[in-house]
């Protein structure tokens, strides 16, 4: 199935990794992923409906939350249905265009979500540390600009990486060692040295993302300092319960994502790769509604 190919022009499809060999385990994988996949709309759907329909919830925090829920639904819909179909029908093949589309959509939605989480940290920072300036700093226009920047930034990021990755010559076969098409796994299929440009691009992108993470962390340091000055126990508890889950999701998201993209190809343990990808691609979109 995955013969060594001389160049990428002859590759018309890729083969995703099968989760299991036996029919029983394939069906177990299908039902497990179906449960997770249904949990996402069950959690995000009511959030989207409530915020859209209730004008009392038309505030910056809920506006960002609405965007986050839409991104979560898109993100989980990019990876899980194809993997579920593969297990159900026992077909591992994904077309070349389908693989490129999966990489593009996944990167677009995931990076837009990360930029949006940064905007949400800014929103919490202003709400708790500069409450008197909240109305002026986070007006409806400012919020719309921040959301547009998150979506636009994610789109540009995805175009850049997808175009660069799929322009590489591939000569290591066409078996993707993952349950969805992911850049680090496709780079393993590229001819030696040709992938260095994309590696540098990833390193640069991760440094930029790390900058956002430092900004989020510093925002939270300021927030926690302000919260500790709140005299009432109830007020402190409310502020911590809002901010700690947000910080936990962002940390899980950035740590596992960085590990997946920066880890040298020589360190390749299939089970580890699967767990890491699951942690940054499936867990945040599923748990975000529960947290918020």
What is the reported pTM? 0.87
- Residue 265 has a pLDDT of 65
Q: Whose structure tokens read 């993209």?
A: 261
Predicted confidence (pLDDT) per residue in 90-109, tens digit? 788 999 999 999 999 999 99
Domain ranges, ordered by start, for the chain: 13-290
- The top-level CATH class assigned to 13-290 is mainly alpha
For the chain, strand residue ranges (E) read 13-15, 93-95
Q: How would residue 89 be classed by pLDDT, with cut points 50, 70 and 90?
A: confident
Summarised one tens digit per residue, pLDDT across range 258-275 is 888 777 766 667 777 888
Q: Give the Cα separation of 254 and 258 in Å (integer).
A: 6
């Amino acid at each position: 199935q995955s013969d060594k190919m001389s160049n990428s022009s002859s590759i018309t499809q890729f083969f995703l990794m099968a989760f299991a060999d036996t029919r029983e385990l394939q069906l177990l994988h299908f039902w497990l992923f179906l449960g997770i996949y249904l949990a996402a709309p069950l959690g995000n759907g009511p959030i989207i409906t409530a915020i859209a329909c209730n004008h009392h919830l038309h505030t910056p925090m809920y506006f960002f939350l609405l965007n986050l829920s839409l991104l979560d639904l898109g993100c989980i819909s990019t990876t899980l249905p194809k993997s579920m179909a593969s297990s159900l029908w026992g077909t591992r093949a994904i077309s070349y265009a389908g693989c490129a589309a999966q990489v593009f959509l996944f990167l677009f939605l995931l990076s837009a979500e990360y930029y949006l989480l940064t905007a949400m940290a800014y929103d919490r920072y202003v709400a708790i540390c500069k409450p008197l300036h909240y109305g002026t700093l986070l007006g409806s226009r400012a919020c719309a600009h921040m959301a547009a920047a998150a979506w636009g930034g994610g789109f540009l990021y995805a175009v850049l990486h997808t175009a660069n990755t799929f322009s590489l010559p591939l000569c290591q076969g066409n078996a993707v060692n993952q349950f969805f098409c992911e850049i680090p796994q496709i780079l393993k299929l590229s001819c030696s040295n040709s992938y260095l440009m994309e590696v540098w691009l990833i390193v640069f992108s991760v440094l930029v993302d790390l900058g956002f993470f430092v900004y989020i962390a510093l925002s939270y340091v300021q927030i926690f300092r302000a919260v500790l000055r709140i005299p009432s126990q109830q007020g402190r508890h409310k502020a911590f319960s809002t901010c700690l889950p947000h910080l936990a999701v962002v940390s899980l998201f950035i740590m596992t994502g960085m590990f997946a993209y920066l880890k040298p190809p020589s360190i390749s343990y299939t089970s580890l790769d699967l767990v890491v990808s699951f942690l940054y691609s499936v867990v945040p979109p599923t748990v975000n509604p529960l947290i918020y």
